[in-house]
Structure 1
Amino acid sequence: MSRSQLDTLIHMANQIAANNAHYGDDAAERVHTHLKKFWARSMKRLIVEYLHEDGSELSPLARQAVELLAQGQAEARPTSA
């Protein structure tokens, strides 16, 4: 994915977060659920990679949601023996 595609994902995540901010304490979980349900695996992987590498352009709420997404991805990975 190109930088412009990453910029688009960052913008989308921030917009989703802004549109859900009025849910207060439930907002991050709602944004996380949206990303999990509606974003392609490649989109989720890229935004999580961005969070780990920098993440500075994500709004605080979008960052929380992507952190939840990253936790879910880590938990879904099989553990090696």
Structure 2
Amino acid sequence: MSRSQLDTLIHMANQIAINNAHYADAAERIHTHLKKFWARSMKHQIIDYLREDGSQLSPLARQAIEQLAQSQADARPASA
């Protein structure tokens, strides 16, 4: 993934956070939006970015992406 693509994802996540910040359940709303509307590759890329650095994400975007990462981990089938 190019840096410009990652920058776009970071910008999008932060904008979604800004647009939902006034809700009491903002992080959950952002998480739900990302889960529903972002392509699998986009979700993986933003989660990888959060784990590697994440410094350009707003605190609210970071919280939502952490929830997204956890929901994806919970959705994976358990190893036998």
Query: Which consecutive aligned stretches of 4+ in structure 1 deviate over 3 angstroms post-superposition?
Result: none
Structure 2 match to 1:20: 20
User: Is 1:58 equivalent to 2:62 in the alignment?
Assistant: no
RMSD value over aligned CA atoms?
Answer: 0.7
Q: CA deviation at 1:57?
A: 0.5
CA distance in 1, matches of 2:3, 2:75: 27
Percent identity of equivalent pairs: 82
* Structure 2 spans left out of the alignment, 5+ residues: none
Bigger fraction of residues in helix:
1
Letter matched to residue 16 of structure 1: I
* Structure 1 spans left out of the alignment, 5+ residues: none
TM-score (norm 1): 0.95
TM-score (norm 2): 0.96
For the residue of structure 2 that corresponds to 1:22, the secondary structure is: coil
5 Å-filtered alignment, 1:1-81, equals: 1-24=1-24, 26-81=25-80
CA distance in 2, matches of 1:20, 1:61: 9
